[in-house]
Structure 1
Amino acid sequence: MSHEPQDALSRTALGVFRLNGQFLAVSEKLAEPAGLTAAWWQVLGAVLPEPLPVAGIARVMGITRQSVQRVADLLVREGLASYEPNPAHRRAKLLAPTEEGRAAVHRIDPGHAELAALLQRELGGPEAFEETVRVLERLSAALDGVERAGRDS
């Protein structure tokens, strides 16, 4: 097995791409009974703690503002979210979940909890699961640092 950084980067990227596909597939299955798609769940989940502008949701999730805007508009049309005035920016409205949107996300909770328990067992327990989370968060932070360094140079 090669320990060259370029090989490690390639294996990491391929692993993350595969994980992304796996998470999207399982998310679609979990969200479907609640009347949501994985993308709808993702955007609603981002605004459950507090309303956010579309650009803020995109930044937090690492996806394009345009994709979030399309999903946000659909959520509003379906009555799962609403646009609210943004005191910090007149034109960039805040997206907030409606009670119906919150209820839809909460209908996913039992399946979500079951998947979390299965993953924890498969990974070898709570400590191993937490370590997995820490490694992924470290990788994300490192990529943010590389991106910032690229912009600054």
Structure 2
Amino acid sequence: MSDREAVTAALGAAMADLQAAIDADDQALADHLGVHRTDLRCLDLVFRHGPLPSGRLAGMLGLTPGSMTALVDRLVKAGYARRAPDPAHGRRVLVTPTEQAVRIVTDSLRDRLAEAHAELENFSDAELDAIVRFLRSATDRHERAAARLRGTGHRDRHR
């Protein structure tokens, strides 16, 4: 095996390990908050993108309107989200995180974010740029693959 092949294989293994660690971390945070994983994904979207209409969130999460309503109801009942009128559209409602949710998530992530920022100091700007390019490319590749799988109409992945 060439050095390039060995590094590429190590990168693949590291990505798989990272994906598993993120998955476990997400589940632990969802359990800590007492919500479903999809509820946590919804919170993540409104944290990163700001208040969003339920319909747009449903599309981003791959949910039906009824499932999205139930999800928002759960988050509102738990005190993590609220419905707010959309100032740009009279009949539309936006889903936004509550101050309680912001506080809990900020407190939960503060230490790990500080640790990650400290680790980034070990990389040059060029290395960080390469990492960002790779991660964006990987994200795009996975989003395209997911769209292709959704387009096949196959619901049973374990035939």
Q: Distance in 1 between matches of 2:107 and 2:139?
A: 29
Unaligned runs of 5+ in 1: 2-11
Quick one: which of 123, 126, 134 aligns to 1:125?
A: 123
TM-score with structure 1 setting the length: 0.58
- Pairing 1:1-153 to 2, within 5 Å after superposition: 19-29=18-28, 35=33, 39=37, 40-48=39-47, 49-60=49-60, 63-66=61-64, 69-86=69-86, 87-88=88-89, 90=91, 92-114=92-114, 116-117=116-117, 120=120, 125=123, 127=125, 128-142=127-141
Instruction: Deviation per CA, 1:38-65: give whole Å up to 9, x if none.
Output: 83443223223521013323545xx312
Task: Specify which structure has the bigger relative contact order, considering alpha-carbon pairs within 8 angstroms and separated by 6 or more residues.
Answer: 1
Deviation at 1:105, TM superposition (A): 1.8
Q: Distance in 2 between matches of 1:119 and 1:68?
A: 38
Equivalenced residues, count: 134
Task: Report percent identity of matched pairs.
Answer: 22
TM-score with structure 2 setting the length: 0.56
